[in-house]
Amino acid sequence: MSSLAGMGHLSLDQAPPLAIPAIFFVTAPVAVMAAGLLLLWSGTFALQLYWLPSVVGLTHLGTLGFLTMTMMGALYQMAPVVAGAPVPFIRLAHLVYLLFCLGVACLSLSLMGLWPGLIFQSFTLISAAILLFLATTGVAIVKSKTQGETVAGMRLALFSLLMLVLLGLTMAGGFVDNSFLGFRQFWLQIHISTALMGWVGGLITAVSWQIIPMFYLTPQFTAVGKKVVLGLTTAGIILPLAVLMASAVAPPNTGGWSPTMLAILGALPAALGVWLVHPYLILRNLNRRRRKRLDPSLRFWQLGLTLAPLTGALAVITCFTEDPRATLLFGWVAIWGWAGIIVHGMLSRIVPFLIWFHRFAPHIGRMPVPAMRNLLPDAWVKFGLGLHVSSLVLGAVAIAMRDPGVSRVTGFLVFSTGLSLLHWIVHLLRQKPDLEVVDEGFSTDEQGLGRSG
Ligand code: HEM
């Protein structure tokens, strides 16, 4: 089977075994639940001052445990299917998974003070997992002969992942014993912009060009729009890295501008591309969609993209105030709002598709096959969205008011969001066709199903 209705030209021949993306997808909600427990346990402590170990822990449970875990699972699936680049040594994905889970789990425990000696080792485990992922999946995508903005965007995201790990690992030494080389704020600034706009933003934008027209039957995007977003993001990732390299070689003559300010200015094009132009293009396209049925995952896209300009505005505000609440609010809205909501919504679309494709599609014509949308009740997805949005709003209030009670309720809601996600992912993974009813004489006309959604 090389293509499915609505999948256009995508080649599915070389899709990896279901188990590989599935282990990443089913683990991501566990990190969300852990983040909820961390908030419940620490109250405002995890939402108070950046650089506090509990804040760094909460941040990386979100960015690595939830976002990166899901994005790595998705890239294992997309490398062969979208970029036409089969991942070599695909079974190594299990090792990547193991190292990454161990790293994130140890990091959370050590930053919570339960195993304080392990902070650096945890960052090393995480880096080893990511480098192994890049050496296999990354190299396959870089070598792919497929052209176009989606693959170019995936390459930019992978380059950013490499850079953010190298920066993170260098910073980890300074973070552990407080012996930071150079300017901490400067390094952190570049780490955050490369991670959020290059890795997370780069992949979200690249994937959206492909899946928005495919899933929601919108018009195709123009090459100009895609190139503008890609060009802005690339410039905003390269310029701050260039400032970093220049200041490492020799302190540049900056005419009174601090290196941090130069790094912020350098990152501006990426902020424009990812948090302004991209949401504008996608939301405009979604309004022109031909499929009028309101798929719940569409709501996630609409909400996440609406939060993108707010994320950009908060990023600007952090440059003009010393109030740590502004930085925390920016991190909260960027990670749990803009990116978190889009990734949550994508899971609700991708997991049913994978289950349907691997388990049911091969039996079309031989037995009644459910439509993809019937595998996951809309009400469950909407309930998850409700929990996610309430935790986002309450978290913002907790940051603004520094109220431990509100923080704990936020923690409970974040935990419940993770639990709801885990519940329906497990429900989907347990769905299998009833092979007893396979009937050689069963005709496709009789079932009238076999549609992908
Ligand atoms: C999507 C990936 C990532 C994102 C979005 C991200 C984001 C962030 C953010 C927002 C902070 C500031 C938190 C705070 O100060 O409280 C931070 C700090 C830090 N990150 Fe990451 N990060 C990512 C991946 C990584 C990785 C892979 C490593 C290491 C291998 C790493 C190492 C660090 C370290 C050591 C700090 C603390 C620096 C310091 O304050 O001294 N990060 N990161």
CA–centroid distance, 153 to ligand 1, in Å, is: 22
Whole-number Cα distances in Å, 65 to 15, 72, 104, 380: 24, 11, 6, 23
Q: Which atom of ligand 1 is nearest to the CA of 50?
A: 16
Q: Within 13 Å and on the Cβ side, how many CA atoms surround 439?
A: 10
pLDDT of amino acid 253: 63
pLDDT of amino acid 275: 98
pLDDT of amino acid 248: 77
How much of the chain exceeds pLDDT 70, in percent? 90
Residues 119 and 176: beta-carbon distance below 8 Å: yes
pLDDT of amino acid 295: 85
Q: Is 172 in the pocket of ligand 1 (CB under 6 A)?
A: yes
More confident call, 182 vs 138: 138
Ranges of each domain in the chain: 19-431
Assess whether pLDDT exceeds 60 at residue 314: yes
Q: Is 345 in the pocket of ligand 1 (CB under 6 A)?
A: no
Name which of 28-32, 98-102, 105-109 the model is least confident about.
105-109
Over range 60-83, report the average pLDDT: 95
Q: Which atom of ligand 1 is nearest to the CA of 127?
A: 30
- CATH number for the domain running over 19-431: 1.20.210.10
Assess whether pLDDT exceeds 90 at residue 136: yes
pLDDT of amino acid 209: 96
pLDDT of amino acid 12: 58
Sequence-distant (≥ 6) Cβ neighbours of residue 129 within 8 angstroms: 95, 96, 97, 98, 99, 100, 103
CA–centroid distance, 239 to ligand 1, in Å, is: 20
Query: How far is Cα 270 from Cα 182, in angstroms, rounded to an integer?
Result: 25
Name which of 13-22, 65-74, 146-155, 203-212 the model is least confident about.
13-22
Over range 191-195, report the average pLDDT: 97
Q: Is 126 in the pocket of ligand 1 (CB under 6 A)?
A: yes
CA–centroid distance, 382 to ligand 1, in Å, is: 31
Q: What is the 3-state secondary structure (H, E, C) of the chain?
A: CCCCCCCCCCCCCCCCCCHHHHHHHHHHHHHHHHHHHHHHHHHHHHHCCCCCHHHHHHHHHHHHHHHHHHHHHHHHHHHHHCCCCCCCCCCHHHHHHHHHHHHHHHHHHHHCCCCHHHHHHHHHHHHHHHHHHHHHHHHHHHHCCCCCHHHHHHHHHHHHHHHHHHHHHHHHHHHHHCCCCCCHHHHHHHHHHHHHHHHHHHHHHHHHHHHHHHHHCCCCCCHHHHHHHHHHHHHHHHHHHHHHHHHHHCCCCCCCCCHHHHHHHHHHHHHHHHHHHHHHHHHHHHHCCCCCCCCHHHHHHHHHHHHHHHHHHHHHHHHHCCCHHHHHHHHHHHHHHHHHHHHHHHHHHHHHHHHHHHHHHHHECCECCCCHHHCCCHHHHHHHHHHHHHHHHHHHHHHHHCCHHHHHHHHHHHHHHHHHHHHHHHHHHCCCCCHHHCCCCCCHHHHCCCCCC
Over range 43-70, report the average pLDDT: 85
Name which of 140-144, 290-294, 347-351 the model is least confident about.
290-294
Residue whose CB lies within 8 A of the most ligand 1 atoms, among 67, 68, 134, 171, for a mutation test: 171
Query: How far is Cα 356 from Cα 240, in angstroms, rounded to an integer?
Result: 43
pLDDT of amino acid 184: 81
Q: What does the mean pLDDT of the chain come to?
A: 89
User: Which residue(s) pair with 364 in the sheet?
Assistant: 367
pTM of the model: 0.92
Over range 74-85, report the average pLDDT: 91
Name which of 170-174, 201-205, 246-250, 370-374 the model is least confident about.
246-250
Assess whether pLDDT exceeds 70 at residue 415: yes
Q: Which atom of ligand 1 is nearest to the CA of 335?
A: 5
Q: Is 58 in the pocket of ligand 1 (CB under 6 A)?
A: no
Q: Is 69 in the pocket of ligand 1 (CB under 6 A)?
A: no
Residues 239 and 269: beta-carbon distance below 8 Å: yes
Assess whether pLDDT exceeds 70 at residue 255: no
Q: Is 169 in the pocket of ligand 1 (CB under 6 A)?
A: yes
Name which of 73-87, 105-119, 229-243, 252-266 the model is least confident about.
252-266
Note the pLDDT tens digit of each residue in 336-390.
Answer: 999 999 999 999 999 999 999 888 888 887 887 888 888 999 999 999 999 999 9
